Structure 1
Amino acid sequence: MSLTPKSLSYSQVLGSDEIQSWLDQFDSEFRPVAIEMLCRLNFISRDTYSLWLKSSLEEFAGEPMALFAVRKFDSETTCIWDDDGNTQQRPAESQGSEDLVQSVVANYLKKNAHTVLDHPGIETIRSKRIKKIVLLDDSMGSGDRVAGFIERMMNHKSFLSLWSYGKVRIEVLSYARTFESETRVLDSLIGSVHHKRVYPAHTKIRFHGHIAYKRNNYSQRWGHGFRRILDLCDTVKKVRRDRRRGYGETIANVVFYHSVPNNIPGVFWFDSPRWNALFPRRTFPSWLDELLEGKTPTRQLRDDSDDVRAESELLMILSAVQRGVRNEYSIAWNIGLDRKVVANLMLTLRSRGLLTIKNRLTNAGRTYLRRNKDKREDPSTEFSLYIPKSWCAGRETVQPTGLDRESGQVQSESETGLPVEDGESGMGSLERTDAKTAPPSLSVMTQVPSTLPPRERHDRHGPFGSSET
C-alpha cells in the first residue's frame, strides 16, 4: 500500500453539496482562495497511518521496547504513573488519535509479545531492562502535547533516575511534525546538554516521521499563493483570533481520517453559532470519506464550458498559458495586469476547471479557448522601436578620422565620402547624427599647453633648476 496522501480535485469540490454549503460562508472574492486551500489539504486514511506506524515499529524489531500512546492530560494529572509506579488507567471516553494508535499497538503485540510491552510500569521497565521508550503520536505541530507527556513521565523519581543515568532512551514516532516542535520538546527535557556530560539530554531522544517541515515555510504546504491563503485565514472574523491559523499558528495541511488536528486553519474545524465548520467538533465526516474514495457521484464539469462567460482577461491568461507562460509574474507582465488581479483570475480559472493546480490547461480549458478564439485579444510585441545592438556605434568611433595621406588635410564625413563637400578644406561636415554630435571622449581630445605660470610645488621632474645644481 502506498503512503501517498489523498487530496480533493476541483471537480469533487464543485460537485459536493456539503462543500458548496461551506463555501457560501465566504465572500465571492475569497471563494476561489478557499477552494485552492481545500485542494491543498492532504488526507491520511486509517489504513495509511496504520501501515506507516507498523513499518516504523519494525525498524526497532528484535530489541525490547515499551510503547506509550501520547495523550493530553488535564491540569490535575501531574504524572502518568501512580505512587507504586503503575501506569494510570486510560479514561473510558474516546481519546481521539490515541484510540487508533492503541488498536494498532494491540495488533502489533500479537506478533511481538515477547519483546514489546504496552504501557508497562516502572518496575517492569527496570526488571526487563528495557532501554527504548517509544512514544506514538500522529501529528506534532507545536510539540506541547509530547513535551507535557514527557514531563509527566519525569515527575516520577524512579523513571527520572533511569533517565539521568542513561538507562532509557526515548524514540518519538509522529507521522507529521514541525522542526519547531522538536525544539520545544528538547528544551523541556530534564538534564544538562553540555558536551562533557556522559549522557547529554539531547542525545537520549530521537524523532521519527514521514513528514517534517518548518512552520514558516508556507509555500511548501500551500504553494506560491500562500499569501492569499494567509489573508483569507486572517480575514474571517467569525473565527476566533487564536484559531484562525490553527493552534500555535502552525497552519498545517495534514488531516487524518481518525482525528482532525487543531493545527490546520480554523475555518475548517472551528464551530460556532456564526460559523459552520467543515469538520464539526474536529471529526471527519462520513460523506467526505466517501467523496475521497470515489463512492459519491459528483456533478461533472461540461467540456464545452457554455456556462462560462467569455471574459477577455480570462482568455488572455489562458492564451498565455497555452504559449508556455505559466508564472503569475510573467503572465501579469505579458498581458498588462496587476499581479494580484492575475492571481485572483487564475484562482477563478482553477475553480471552473479550466486550469490545473500547476497552471496547465485542462481539456475543458482547451475547448474553451477554441470556442472563443474570435474573442481572444493576444498581446502583441511592438518591434518598431527595436534597434539591434550591432547598429549602435560607440562615441570614439564616430570622431573625424586622421589626416588624408595625400593632402594632409583633415577628412570630414559626408554622404558622398568627399573630404570637402559641406565645408571648407580641413573643416568638418555640418551634417551629423545625434551620436556624432556628442562630445568626444577624453581619449581623443587634444591637450592644449597650459599658459598659467609654473607652480611652485614639485612636479614629477623635480623643482625647476634642480638639474643644474
Structure 2
Amino acid sequence: MMSGVHSNQVNSENIALRLPNTTRAKDWLSQFDFLHQEIAVRLLSSLTLVSHSAFERALQSLIEHEASAIEGPVALYATREADPNRNYFEVMGNPHSPFEPLSAVPPGADLGSEARCAALIRNLTKTAKGKFLNHPSLETLRKERARAIFVVDDIIGSGKRTTEFISAMWHSPSIMSWHSRHQIVFKALAFTATARGQRCVGAHRCQPEVIIARDCPTFEDVLWPDDIEQKVKDMFVTYGARTSRPRMKLGFADSMAALIFEHGCPNNVPAIFWAPASKKANWEPLFPDRSILSEEASAFPPDIFARDPVAILSELSDNDEAVPAAIFGPAPLGMSATTILALVAKGIRSRAALNYAIGYDIKECTTMLDRCVARGYLTPTLRLTPAGRAELNFDGRSSNRLGRLPSVGSDVYYPRQLRGPPGG
C-alpha cells in the first residue's frame, strides 16, 4: 500500500489562516472593493510560502545530488544580474590576485536571493572541500580541473536573468573551448522555476540542464473554479494599475508566480503584492519593495504543506457529491494518491498543479505518479483507468460528480470563516 497522508498535510488549515490574519494583510485586503475582497483572501491563501529552512534544505539537497554524478570538482555560482555582452570572469576577476574567488554579489545590490544562495554555497564548500568551488575565478577553474559549472538561484521565472548570467560566462573563450571538448558542463539549479523559464534557459547555446526541486506554482496553475479564474487576472490588471509598476501587473514577463520566499518576494509575482503606489493612486503593498516583514514572516511554515483535498474537490458544491467516496474514508492508496486520482479524473494533468495540491516536491510527486501507473490506476499519459475509477468508488450513479467539479478545481485551502457575503 502507498503511504497515508503526507506529513506536511498536518495542520494545513491553521497554516493557511496565518497570512490573511496578519495586521498588514488585513490592511492590504481592505484596499480592495467590497465585491473583490473574498477573491483577495483567496489570493493570499493560494500563495506557496517557502521558509528559510525549507528553501535551504531543498536547494542544498539538490546541489549535492547533482554533484554526486559529476566526476571531479563542481564550481558553484549564485546567479546574479550580469551583462550578457561582457566576459563575466574579466569583469569580476581580480587581475592582481587571479586565484581569488569572484564576488558573489555586487556592491549595493538587492541582496535577497543572491546573498541567500551565496551563503548556502559558502557553507557547502566548507563541508566538502575539493568537491565544491566557491565562485572560482577562471584560473581556479583551470587549476582545479572543474568538470561542471552550477549556477544557483531561488527561482527561474522568465529565465532572463539566468540566461544572461550564463551568457556572460560563455563570453570566455576558455569556457567555450572546455565545453566544446566536453570537459565541462553547465547546470542551472534552482528551488523552483516556471515552465517558461525552464524553456528559456534550456535553449541557451551551452545547453544547460535545468534542475529544480519544485515546479513554480502560478496563479494560472491554481485550481480555481470557473467563475473565479478570469476575475483573478482582471483584479491583477485593475489594481496593478494603481502601483508604480503597471507593466508588471501580472509579474515580470507576465509570469504570474504564486510563490513567496521568506527572504523576499520575487518580481515574477503580480505587482499588487510588492509594488508601491503610483504617483496618481493609493496602494500599500503586502511585501513592500519585495521584502518580508516580521509579522508576515511568522506565517511561513517550516515545510510546504498539502492542501485540503475536500476543499479542493468540493469548492463549488454545497454537499459531498462533488467528492469521490474514497476521500472521506480510510483511503487504501493514501490521501495524496487518492487526491491525485480525483484531480486526474477531472482532466487535471499539470505536474505543477498536482505538486501544488498535495504539497510534494518533484521527486516525490513523480514517484507517486509512477506508482499509480505501475499499479494500473493511471495510464502513462495520466488518464484514469477503470481500476483507478474503482479506487475512487465511481459508479453509474456518481458519473455526474466529475461534471460538478470546477473545470480547473481549487488547490487552495480557503478559510470559510473569512468569507464575506457572496457576489464577489
Q: TM-score range by the shorter chain?
A: 0.5 to 0.7
Residue 67 (structure 1) aligns with: 76
Distance in structure 2 (CA, Å) of the matches to 1:122 and 1:37: 46
Q: Which structure 2 residue ranges, 5 or more long, are not aligned?
A: 1-5, 303-313, 325-399, 401-405
Distance in structure 1 (CA, Å) of the matches to 2:248 and 2:102: 32
In structure 1, give the amino acid aligned to 2:167. E
1:232 corresponds to 2:299 = no
1:277 corresponds to 2:293 = no
Distance in structure 2 (CA, Å) of the matches to 1:354 and 1:46: 37
Judged with a 3 Å threshold, the aligned counterparts in structure 2 of structure 1 residues 319 and 42 are, in CA distance, closer, same or farther, namely closer
Residue 321 (structure 2) aligns with: 324
1:34 corresponds to 2:36 = no
Shift of 1:27: 0.6
What is the TM-score of this pair, normalised by structure 2? 0.63
SS of 1:58's partner is helix
Residue 107 (structure 2) aligns with: 92
Distance in structure 1 (CA, Å) of the matches to 2:415 and 2:165: 45
Judged with a 3 Å threshold, the aligned counterparts in structure 2 of structure 1 residues 223 and 151 are, in CA distance, closer, same or farther, namely farther
Residue 418 (structure 2) aligns with: 351
**8 Å Cα contact 1:176-1:210 kept in structure 2:** yes
Distance in structure 2 (CA, Å) of the matches to 1:99 and 1:130: 23
Judged with a 3 Å threshold, the aligned counterparts in structure 2 of structure 1 residues 146 and 10 are, in CA distance, closer, same or farther, namely closer
Q: Which structure 1 residue ranges, 5 or more long, are not aligned?
A: 190-200, 295-316, 328-332, 334-338, 356-469
Residue 212 (structure 1) aligns with: 215
SS of 2:35's partner is coil
- Give the number of the structure whose alpha-carbon radius of gyration is greater: 1
Judged with a 3 Å threshold, the aligned counterparts in structure 2 of structure 1 residues 213 and 288 are, in CA distance, closer, same or farther, namely closer
1:79 corresponds to 2:87 = yes
Residue 179 (structure 1) aligns with: 195
Judged with a 3 Å threshold, the aligned counterparts in structure 2 of structure 1 residues 27 and 161 are, in CA distance, closer, same or farther, namely same
SS of 1:130's partner is coil
In structure 2, give the amino acid aligned to 1:91. P
SS of 2:119's partner is helix
Identity of aligned residues (%): 23
SS of 2:203's partner is helix
Shift of 1:326: 7.2
Distance in structure 1 (CA, Å) of the matches to 2:251 and 2:315: 35
Judged with a 3 Å threshold, the aligned counterparts in structure 2 of structure 1 residues 119 and 142 are, in CA distance, closer, same or farther, namely same
1:254 corresponds to 2:259 = yes
Q: How do 1:2-401 residues align onto structure 2 when only pairs under 5 Å count?
A: 11-12=17-18, 15-59=21-65, 60-61=67-68, 63-73=72-82, 78-82=86-90, 88-89=102-103, 90-93=105-108, 94-189=110-205, 201-202=206-207, 205-212=208-215, 218-220=220-222, 225-236=228-239, 237-239=241-243, 240-272=245-277, 274-292=282-300, 321-322=318-319, 324-325=321-322, 351-352=418-419
Higher helix share: 2
CA deviation string 1:347-397 (max 9, x = no partner): 895633999xxxxxxxxxxxxxxxxxxxxxxxxxxxxxxxxxxxxxxxxxx
Structure number with higher relative contact order (C-alpha < 8 Å, ≥ 6 residues apart):
2
Shift of 1:95: 2.1
Distance in structure 1 (CA, Å) of the matches to 2:165 and 2:13: 32
Judged with a 3 Å threshold, the aligned counterparts in structure 2 of structure 1 residues 282 and 3 are, in CA distance, closer, same or farther, namely farther
Distance in structure 2 (CA, Å) of the matches to 1:319 and 1:123: 61
**8 Å Cα contact 1:132-1:171 kept in structure 2:** yes
Distance in structure 2 (CA, Å) of the matches to 1:50 and 1:44: 10
Shift of 1:125: 1.5
Shift of 1:266: 0.9
Distance in structure 1 (CA, Å) of the matches to 2:220 and 2:54: 24
In structure 2, give the amino acid aligned to 1:219. D
SS of 2:127's partner is coil
Judged with a 3 Å threshold, the aligned counterparts in structure 2 of structure 1 residues 71 and 353 are, in CA distance, closer, same or farther, namely same
In structure 1, give the amino acid aligned to 2:86. T
Judged with a 3 Å threshold, the aligned counterparts in structure 2 of structure 1 residues 174 and 3 are, in CA distance, closer, same or farther, namely farther
In structure 2, give the amino acid aligned to 1:210. A
CA deviation string 1:87-138 (max 9, x = no partner): 6434333522111111111221222012211111222212322111111000
Distance in structure 2 (CA, Å) of the matches to 1:278 and 1:20: 9
Distance in structure 2 (CA, Å) of the matches to 1:318 and 1:219: 16
CA deviation string 1:288-343 (max 9, x = no partner): 1224469xxxxxxxxxxxxxxxxxxxxxx99961353579xxxxx9xxxxx9xxx9
**8 Å Cα contact 1:248-1:263 kept in structure 2:** yes
SS of 1:110's partner is helix
SS of 2:89's partner is coil
**8 Å Cα contact 1:219-1:226 kept in structure 2:** no
Shift of 1:268: 0.2
Shift of 1:7: 8.7
Distance in structure 2 (CA, Å) of the matches to 1:72 and 1:260: 17
Aligned CA-pair RMSD: 3.8
Judged with a 3 Å threshold, the aligned counterparts in structure 2 of structure 1 residues 13 and 261 are, in CA distance, closer, same or farther, namely closer
Aligned residues between the structures: 304
**8 Å Cα contact 2:50-2:259 kept in structure 1:** yes
Shift of 1:9: 5.5
**8 Å Cα contact 1:40-1:222 kept in structure 2:** no
Shift of 1:14: 5.4
Judged with a 3 Å threshold, the aligned counterparts in structure 2 of structure 1 residues 27 and 165 are, in CA distance, closer, same or farther, namely same
SS of 1:136's partner is strand
Judged with a 3 Å threshold, the aligned counterparts in structure 2 of structure 1 residues 46 and 15 are, in CA distance, closer, same or farther, namely closer
Distance in structure 2 (CA, Å) of the matches to 1:231 and 1:178: 21
Shift of 1:242: 1.3
Distance in structure 1 (CA, Å) of the matches to 2:8 and 2:127: 23
